Amino acid sequence: MLLVKEFTFDAAHNLVKYHGKCERLHGHTYRMAVTVSGRPGEEGMVMDFAELGDMVKREVVSKFDHSYLNDIIPQPTAENIARYVFKSLDGHFCGLDCELRSVQVWETKNSSAIFGREDLRAEATADGIGGEGA
pLDDT digits (tens, 9 = 90+) for 50-80: 999 999 999 999 999 999 999 999 999 999 9
What pLDDT is stored for residue 88 in this prediction? Answer: 97
Out of 19, 66, 94, 132, pick the active-site residue: 66
Q: What is the mean pLDDT of the chain?
A: 93
Report if residue 132 sits inside a domain.
Answer: no
> 125 with 131: CB under 8 angstroms?
yes
Report if residue 63 sits inside a domain.
Answer: yes
CA–CA distances in Å: residue 116 to residues 32, 78, 90, 119: 13, 13, 10, 5
What pLDDT is stored for residue 94 in this prediction? Answer: 81
Out of 6, 22, 26, 118, pick the active-site residue: 22
User: Rounded distance, CA 102 to CA 34, Å?
Assistant: 6
Is residue 22 part of the annotated active site? The answer reads yes
Give me the sign of the Cα torsion angle 124, 125, 126, 128: positive
36 pLDDT tier (thresholds 50, 70, 90)? very high
pLDDT digits (tens, 9 = 90+) for 7-33: 999 999 999 999 888 899 999 999 999
- Structural domain tally of the chain? 1
Report if residue 26 sits inside a domain.
Answer: yes
CATH code of the domain covering residue 9: 3.30.479.10
Task: Give the domain extent around 53.
Answer: 2-126
Is residue 66 part of the annotated active site? The answer reads yes
Strands 111-116 and 98-108, how do they pair? Answer: antiparallel
What pLDDT is stored for residue 134 in this prediction? Answer: 41
